[in-house]
Structure 1
């Protein structure tokens, strides 16, 4: 699927910069198999991507409060 995307878009995936995130219940053996197949070894979830939080969860109000406050300051 990723190869098809690359061929269609002309973009390339940088495996050195790529990372993958698994849920808590994912078995270790499955994680390793997926990382090996995708050629991605970095297993992490950064706090932000393109300036936005990556893990929003249930509390969207608290997660985006900083954004609302920043916009409100500019409006005032």
Structure 2
């Protein structure tokens, strides 16, 4: 349904960085991330797709877990209007999604050092020295 709206030109895809392919959505298990322009019209179209999905599938969007994120260039009036359409809260830069920061920006080392430290502590706590080199490699891949 989202692709159909894209093809009709009702929802425009975005590129998350220069030279990246354009995307409109990502699905992971029971989570969905939908990307679109921050306009009232596109917000209504996305909401209409979600409502149609609810009606056809019998599944419901959990409004309490629904979050919005806007670029710093989005005017506050537009943010307020889109927020009102979805009835959702706006997430900030410092919050996390699935344990990762939703935005990394230029500070990639700072953003991911915490994860690197956590993995290092887990591996050190697991008697990793008793494993063979291949065993340690598998352990690292499984934890990371």
Q: TM-score range by the shorter chain?
A: 0.5 to 0.7
TM-score when normalising by structure 1: 0.65
Give structure 2 stretches of 5+ with no counterpart.
Answer: 1-48, 125-144
In the alignment, what sits opposite 1:36?
84
Aligned counterparts, 1:10-29, within 5 A: 10-29=58-77
Q: 2:119 aligns with which of 50, 56, 71?
A: 71
Deviation at 1:10, TM superposition (A): 4.6
Aligned counterparts, 1:1-16, within 5 A: 1-7=49-55, 10-16=58-64
* Counterparts of 1:5 and 1:33, CA distance in 2: 23
Residue correspondences, number: 75
In the alignment, what sits opposite 2:98?
50
* Counterparts of 2:103 and 2:115, CA distance in 1: 15
Deviation at 1:33, TM superposition (A): 2.2
Deviation at 1:26, TM superposition (A): 0.9
Deviation at 1:4, TM superposition (A): 4.1
- 1 or 2 for the larger relative contact order (CA 8 Å, sep ≥6)? 1
Which runs of 4 or more aligned residues in structure 1 lie more than 6 Å from their structure 2 counterparts after TM superposition?
A: none
Deviation at 1:75, TM superposition (A): 3.0
Deviation at 1:64, TM superposition (A): 0.9
TM-score when normalising by structure 2: 0.41
